Amino acid sequence: MEIRSTSSLTQPSTLPLPEILDSLVELTAQRERRTLEISLLATLRELMADCTIALYNCRWIDGHPWWRIQLDSLEEPPAQNQPWTLPGSKMLRILLQQDQHQAIHPIDTGLCVPLYQTNQVVAVLMVTPSAQAVVDHKLLIALARIHENFLNLLHASDSDTLTGLYNRRKFDSQLFSLVGDPSGDKRRIPLLALLDIDHFKQVNDNYGHIIGDEVLLMLAQRMQQFFGEDDGLYRYGGEEFAILFHSVSEEKAQAILEGFCTRISNHPFPQVGQVTVSIGFTRLDQGLVPAQVIDRADKALYYVKTHGRNQVYQFETLLRQGLVQEVEIASGDIDLF
């Protein structure tokens, strides 16, 4: 299929400089990826009113890129939990950087602007001009690079350097924002799971810390492949990890976590062999403070560690059975954030 020329789509922006600066101020004020993406689309919609603009996120699994629409400039947002799909051949070449590395790629429907993080495409802007529209390439590239730079800053600030999962600082922020949130379906209260690698000290003692780090990295990669894209995955500290579920029932979370335990116990780790994990989880009930939520999940995890490991228990289930006790957190102990 013939690629349309984009030379006729370029002209200097006619928007007043103060309006452009206001848009940049709004864009650079964001500290969450989702709000940053929404701000970028709102800015582009304002600056390029005659274009339809969509943002696709990219996900890499075993070296292969998958993508799905994240946001578009239409009034109705895309449906949640869009499926990940394999891109077509031309887009695949762009994502794999097999074509000439360039800021803007002409495609059949208009323009494609890849966004990079650590030399890998993590998102794509798709610009579809109307019949009479013109696009200021310089402005589009500048906004894309600003967004890209902030994505990298957020990644550096929020990510654990070894595993690539979110770090403890990000976890604290997310947990604080979720606890006591009255919105949403009461049957879908967020859940916190704490995951610990069994006998990890023996791995470090017997094989050394380099192999120990490889185990942590491989476990993080298995987590990214196993859990949903919308689940928050965090390295909580050392060999302990945290998962924040946003839209699953307690029964579904139990089944998912048990499936992950089985997956890890059946997955061979180089030099180490079998690795198992223990998991405890709890609801983020309204009225709790972050320290209470963590304490509940930690009690469930401790029960698993002292009753056979390689299992999953929910705090509320253990509490009903009288196997754990609720501990009140003193007011001086809750200021964790």
CA 99, 103, 107, 112 torsion: positive or negative? Answer: positive
Task: Provide φ and ψ at 243, rounded to 5°.
Answer: -130, 130
Rounded-to-integer distance, Cα 77 and Cα 83, Å: 15
CA distances 47 to 13, 24, 140, Å, are 8, 11, 9
Degrees, nearest 5: CA angle 315-321-324:
50
Rounded-to-integer distance, Cα 166 and Cα 302, Å: 23
Given 37, 148, 214, 239, the catalytic residue: 239
Whether residue 239 lies in the annotated active site: yes
Rounded-to-integer distance, Cα 117 and Cα 122, Å: 6
Rounded-to-integer distance, Cα 66 and Cα 229, Å: 12
What tokens does 236 get? 């909580």
Q: Active-site positions?
A: 239
